[in-house]
Amino acid sequence: MDKSTTPGALTRAAFLSGLGIAIGGSVLFSTKAIVAKLLYRYHIDAVTLIAFRMLFSLPVFAAIAIWKMRTEAPLSSGDRWRIVGLGLVGYYLSSFLDFLGLQYISVGLERLILFLTPTFVLLISSTILKHQIGRKQWMALAISYCGIVLVFLHDLRGGGNVALGAALVTGSAAAYAAYLLLSGEMVRRLGSIRLVSYAMCVSTVACVGQFFLLRPVSALLQPLPVYGLSLVNGMLCTVAPVFMTMIAVERIGAGTASQAGMIGPVSTLFLGALLLGEPVTSWQLGGTALVLSGIYLLSKK
């Protein structure tokens, strides 16, 4: 029998393909910060940016939502309101704060702060749900936050509203952590694809409604590159990573997929240098290493 067709070889091939999909999804999702920075060069604001992002991703999520509505049991009244809340917190508020913060800080610092989401989940679980945090978990938290402080202090020397930007992105990470905690039970009941598609539709309504409340209709007319970059933001940096992560989790498990996602902050750091001209310094590399080490220890726990 050919070695490539043995069960062991097939298992290894499936694992490697799942790992590759997880890494690809993490890189694509992290690239949204790069795309946002490129869009800001055309003098649009966060309100316009997020509205365009959601409009371009809506057809895919709406199609899935309609399919799920037709093929699965209808939602209860309580679940409908929970999904509205999750969509507003997890995808509208979190994304809006993230894009607002990106106007003031580097993509490297933004990605590192967002990567602290698991630590916010842990802290919220400890303070609100009264879960105990072990000594190793405290050590992982300390290592991660030391890395953030290192990069933050480095970026402060460049001037600007770095503190404001960091605070906004921290709010984004906290909002998404709350979404993860609140959605756990619903994911088990409804399935991740159904829940994400419904929540993204809710978020789109909020983002587009906000745009029309705060901006004139003429703001829809933008230079052609804005539409092209928004399409990339909506499809390659939003839709594709969602499904790539789901496929990866199915093939290699959530633990391995989340650890593969650690490539995200590293890829953002170097893509920022390549596409935006942001410098890669020893401070940033050191801070990134500390954050990744802390999150790795947390994921192992």
Q: How far apart are the first and last CA of the chain?
A: 41
pTM attached to this predicted model? 0.86
pLDDT band at 6 (very low <50, low <70, confident <90, very high): very low
State the Cα–Cα distance between residues 67 and 213, nearest whole angstrom: 31
Q: What was the pLDDT predicted at 300? A: 67
Q: What was the pLDDT predicted at 301? A: 58
> 82 pLDDT exceeds 80?
yes
Q: What was the pLDDT predicted at 119? A: 83
223 — alpha (psi -120 to 50), left (phi > 0) or beta?
A: beta
Length of the chain, in residues: 301
206 neighbors 92 (Cβ within 8 angstroms): yes
The contacts of residue 21 (CB under 8 Å, 6+ apart) are 244, 247, 248, 251
State the Cα–Cα distance between residues 144 and 112, nearest whole angstrom: 9
Q: What was the pLDDT predicted at 5? A: 44
Q: What was the pLDDT predicted at 24? A: 92
